[in-house]
Amino acid sequence: MRRFKTNLSVIFLLLLAIACKEQQKETPFIVNGETIKTLIKNSLSGDENSKKIIDGLFTFDAELKTYNKIDIDSIEINNATYYTLLLENQNPIYNLFAIVDKDLNLILKDESLNGYLNLNFKKSGSRRFAVITEEFNSKDVIQLSRSSYYSLEQYSSELVFRQFTKIKTSSKEAEQVVSVISDTAIVTSIFYPASKTSKTSKDVFNFDVANNKYVSDKNLFDSLVHKEVRGLNIQTKNPQITDAESILRFFNGKDPNVSTHKFSISENDFEIVLDSTWKKLGSITISNLVKQKLNGLKFISGKMGAGISLAAIAPTDSAENYFNEVLKNRDETKSVMRFSDKLIDNKNIYQLYEFSCPTKKILMILETPKSTYELNKAHYEEIIKSFLIKC
C-alpha cells in the first residue's frame, strides 16, 4: 500500500510539471496597431528583439522621447490588412512614413518628410491614396505646406504626387488646392488670399503610366515656391536640409566621408542602371551582414522596399574578410563577379556580391522584401546584370 501511495505521488508531480509547462507557453504574437506601436517604442528604447522584428524600418536611430507622435492606422486593400506608420520627430531627419503588411514586411518607406505631419485617406475612381500634409519653414521665415499622395495597392505602394500647397512670406501669400482627382489626372487651383484682385490659375497633372506619377508640364506652384526660396538671401539660424549629404552632415556632425574604413567609393567607380523609383541615399555606414563596418553608398526603392549597398575594398582584398558568408558562385560575363547563395530571414532575402578588376574591387549587398521578391525578381536580376565596375 505504501508503494502505491508513492507511485501516486510521482504521477501527481509529473502532471503538475506538465500543467506548469502548458501554462508557461508563450502567447502567439498578434499583429495590430497597438502591438506595432509597442514594437516601435521598444525598438526606439533599445530593445534588441524588437529591433530585429522591425529591421529595416529605421535608417537613423533616435530616442523615443524625441518623437512628437507615433500614429498607426490599419487599411484594407483587396481583403488584405496593411498598416500605415507615421512618426513625427522634433528633428525632421527622423520623420518617417511607412506601410507594412500583416507579416510586418515593409511595403513603402519615405524619410523625406519635413515639419509637422498629418495623415488622411482619399479615394477617387479606382484609386485610393494615403495623403500626408507637411507644415514647415524654409530659411526660417518662409512658411510652407506640402501634400504627398501615395497610391494604396496590394503588394505595393508608392509616391505618385507631391506638391507644395501653401507659401507665406512677409510680402506674399499663395495657395494651391486639389480640386479634381481621377485615375487619369489631378487638377489644382491656385489663388492669392492677400491679393486685392481675384486672380486664380489652374494646373493639370496627367497620370504618366511609365513613371506611375501625376506630372505637369507647367508645375506652376512648385516653380513659384522654388523661386521665392532661392531668391531669399539671408543668414539662417537653423540648419537647412536640402539633400542626402546635408542630412548625413547634420546627423553625424561631421563630414560623412570620414570613417574607420579607409577606402571610399563614388559613382565614378561603377555603372548601374536604376529606374526612377530608386533614390540615392548617399554616404552611409554598412553594418548589417558584415564582420566590420564599411563606408559606402546606398540606393533605396520605396516602391519595392529594397536596398542596394555598395562599398570599395582593396583590389587584393577578399569579400570573405568582410562578409559573414562565403561567396561560392562565380560569373565573368562583364566584371569578375562572385556571389553568395540567397540568405533568407523572417522578412527579407539578401544576396552578397563581389565585383573585381585588376585595379578595383566593390562589394554589394542586395536587400529585398521576401513577400514581393518573386514579383520583382526579374527587375533585380536586370540591375545586377547592368552593374559594371570601372577600371
Q: Could you write out the three-class secondary structure of 46-78?
A: CCHHHHHHCCCCCCCCCCHHHEEEEEEEEEEEC
Contact of 320 with 311, CB cutoff 8 Å: no
Domain that residue 249 falls in: 245-389
Q: For residues 369 and 380, is the Cβ–Cβ distance under 8 A? A: no
Query: Would you give the DSSP letter of residue 26?
Result: P
Q: Decide if 338 contacts 318 (C-beta within 8 A).
A: no
pTM value is 0.62
73 and 208 together in one domain: yes
In this predicted structure, what is the pLDDT of residue 310? 94
**CA geometry: angle 251, 261, 363, nearest 5 deg:** 100
Question: At 195, is the secondary structure helix, strand, or coil?
Answer: coil
236 plus 337 within the same structural domain: no
Percent of the chain that is helix, strand, coil (3-state, to 5): 25, 40, 35
Query: What pLDDT score was predicted for residue 166?
Result: 96
Quote the pLDDT of residue 237: 63
Q: Is the same domain home to 221 and 293?
A: no
39: in domain: no
Write down how long the chain is.
Answer: 391
Q: For residue 86, what pLDDT is reported?
A: 98
Which among 136, 150, 25 has a CA at the least distance from the CA of 77?
Answer: 150
Same domain, 255 and 205: no
DSSP SS3 for 253: coil
Kindly state whether residues 279 and 365 are assigned to the same domain: yes
SS3 label, residue 90 = coil
Are residues 201 and 65 part of one domain? yes
Maximum distance among all Cα pairs of the chain, rounded to whole angstroms? 108
Q: Is residue 34 part of a domain?
A: no
Among residues 28, 51, 30, the alpha carbon closest in space to that of 39 is found at 51
Which of the listed residues 242, 267, 285 is the one where a domain comes to its end? 242
Do 206 and 253 share a structural domain? Answer: no
- Residue 280 sits in a domain whose CATH number is 3.40.1000
Question: Which stretch of DSSP H or E encloses residue 40?
Answer: helix 33-44
Other Cβ atoms less than 10 A from the Cβ of 217: the count is 8
The last residue of one of the domains, among 214, 242, 270, is 242
Question: What does 175-201 look like in DSSP terms, one character per residue?
Answer: EEEEEEE-SSEEEEEEE-TT-SS--EE
DSSP H or E run through 6: helix 2-23
d(CA 107, CA 109): 7
Q: What is the pLDDT along the chain (391 residues), one digit of tens a residue?
A: 444 344 555 555 555 555 555 555 556 678 899 999 999 999 999 998 998 888 888 877 789 999 999 999 999 998 999 999 999 999 998 899 999 999 898 888 888 899 999 999 999 888 999 999 999 998 888 999 999 999 998 888 889 999 999 999 988 899 999 999 999 999 999 999 877 677 899 999 999 998 889 999 999 999 999 888 888 877 666 655 554 445 544 544 444 333 334 456 677 789 999 988 888 876 777 878 888 888 888 898 877 889 999 999 988 888 998 998 889 999 877 678 999 999 998 788 999 999 998 888 999 999 999 888 999 999 999 999 999 988 7
Q: How many domains does the chain have?
A: 2
